[in-house]
Amino acid sequence: METIVTKEQLSNSPNGCDCTFVKIGGAGLKCYNDSEQRDRQYQLQQWFALRGLAPRAWFSFDFEGPDGSTIYAYYSEIVEVKGHDDYENKWYRAASDLRVELEEKFGINWTDDHGGNVGHNGERFVLIDLGYMSGGDLDDIEGLADDHNVE
């Protein structure tokens, strides 16, 4: 395996509880320390992207981190984000609206709905953090990413 990101890129990039997002060229690289977490998030992002509710995702893979550890990653479309510290009302309203849409359309309960977990893809607000979801068809998405690359 070869290293494709530097220590500085990893430490200076936005991150959440489980993921670090590194911009590489015109795409984003979602990086995880655990393969099962990456695989689940990749499948979720594929599932939601097929429904227009998340950025597109491509190609999951492993690579060697700058410290020699294995990083589990996939490429993601880059969307506009505001971050956790930006309390602009429209981003928080968008998160709330997405939470309601997930519940009404899919029976999914999303409990981490705030403005830092949504982005805008130029057409609509989309989910960028797919953690803290339960219910609906989420248990039926296993293998979706193996069968569908969303482009």
Q: Tell me: the pLDDT tens digits for 106-150?
A: 888 998 888 888 999 999 999 998 888 887 767 666 544 444 444
* Contacts for 141 with CB less than 8 Å, ≥ 6 apart: 43, 44, 46, 47
pLDDT digits (tens, 9 = 90+) for 55-78: 999 999 999 999 999 999 999 999
Q: Which helix (H) or strand (E) is 40 found in, with range?
A: helix 35-50
Asked whether the beta carbons of 44 and 130 are under 8 A apart, the reply is yes
Range of the domain at 33: 7-142
**Residue at 87 is within a domain:** yes
**Residue at 84 is within a domain:** yes
**Residue at 106 is within a domain:** yes
Number of domains in the chain: 1
Asked whether the beta carbons of 78 and 28 are under 8 A apart, the reply is yes
